Amino acid sequence: MSSASQQRSPGNRTRPDSRIQRAGFDFNFHMRRLCDDLVARVEQLRHVDMTRVAISFSQTRKATPYGMYASLTPMRFAGGRMHAIRRGQKWGVQRLYGDGGREMLYILNFYLPRFLDRGFREKLSTVVHELWHVSPEFNGDTRRLGGRCHAHGSSQAKYDAQVDALTDRYLALDPPGAVCEFLRLDYRQLAARHGRVFGRKIPAPKLIRVA
Ligand SMILES: [Zn+2]
């Protein structure tokens, strides 16, 4: 029996989603709600099935303004393949399953507090940037663009312009304040308001040698 159910008494009704009642700011819950809304509203992101995207965070000690704020880890190889041959060996990616037993095809990870300490617009466009990396086929691979770098295409500026346009589109669709509100606060403000910031950390998936 979990501690949560032990605390429940017959006269004390608990809402089905007890996570919202736990003290502290649940980063994963809020980020998922935002992503759900983004992919529901913005047509160009509708291929993203958030029920198969795991959300995670990593802690970073250095609060420098440079470096990564977020990342998207694909759980499949090029073209959505389960295996890849490298140096004569066959490799697969460690599988990851969600609470309902569904296999996750991507891990969307945020580096905290670094991510939370950016401005509102920058945080929102960072989320859009990572979601835009999801393959249009939603096959566990990333979107492959022509050019020097298949992730960002021939020019990072073009990729950023696309992300900017999608971010504008979302804001123009007038998303509910409650969904985006947390992006207006930085890490310290969120911690001060809620007591603490917590969430789920998912270890990076390992490459596994297939016999
Ligand atoms: Zn990127």
pLDDT digits (tens, 9 = 90+) for 117-160: 999 999 999 999 999 999 999 999 999 988 778 889 888 899 99
Tokens of 73: 């880890």
Taking residues 68-95, report their average pLDDT.
94
pLDDT of res. 211: 78
Burial (Cβ within 10 Å: 0-12, 13-18, ≥19) of residue 125: buried
CA of 70 to the centre of ligand 1 (A): 9
Q: Inform me whether the pLDDT recorded for 103 exceeds 60.
A: yes
For position 63, what pLDDT does the model report? 56
Is the confidence at residue 20, as pLDDT, over 90? no
8 Å CB contact between 70 and 108: yes
| Domain coverage including residue 46 | 21-210
**177 part of a folded domain:** yes
Share of the chain above pLDDT 70, in %: 87
How far is the centre of ligand 1, averaged over its atoms, from the C-alpha of 129 (Å)?
A: 6
- What spacing in Å lies between the alpha carbon of 151 and ligand 1's midpoint? 6
Place of tokens 């819950």: 29
Q: Is the Cβ–Cβ distance between 75 and 205 less than 8 Å?
A: yes
Structure-block tokens of residue 190: 């969120």
The answer to whether residue 13 sits within a structural domain is: no
Ligand 1 centroid to residue 3 C-alpha, Å: 40
Tell whether 6 is covered by a domain. Answer: no
The radius of gyration of the chain's CA atoms, rounded to the nearest angstrom, is 19
The rounded Å distance from CA 113 to ligand 1 centre is 19
Structure tokens belonging to residue 109: 């990870």
Considering the domain boundaries, does residue 10 fall inside one?
A: no
DSSP 56-117: EEEE-S---SSS-SEEEEESS-GGG-SEEEETTEEEEE---B-TTSPBPSEEEEEEETTTTT
194 within domain boundaries: yes
CA 133 to ligand 1 centroid distance, Å = 7
How far is it, in rounded angstroms, from Cα 107 to Cα 102? 13
Distance from the alpha carbon of residue 53 to the mean position of ligand 1, in angstroms:
16
Residue 87 Cα, ligand 1 centroid: separation in angstroms? 27
Answer yes or no: is 11 within a domain. Answer: no
- pLDDT > 90 fraction of the chain, expressed in percent and rounded: 76
Has residue 11 got a pLDDT over 70?
no
Exposed/middle/buried for 114, CB within 10 Å: 0-12, 13-18, 19+?
Answer: buried
Of 7-16, 43-52, 134-143, minimum mean pLDDT range: 7-16
Domain count, the chain: 1
Rounded to the nearest angstrom, the distance between the alpha carbon of 186 and the centre of ligand 1 is: 22
User: Would you say residue 16 lies in a domain?
Assistant: no
Provide the pLDDT confidence category of residue 66 given band limits of 50, 70 and 90: low
Tell me what the pLDDT averaged over the chain comes to.
Answer: 88
| Higher per-residue pLDDT: 4 or 38 | 38
Q: Is residue 149 part of a domain?
A: yes
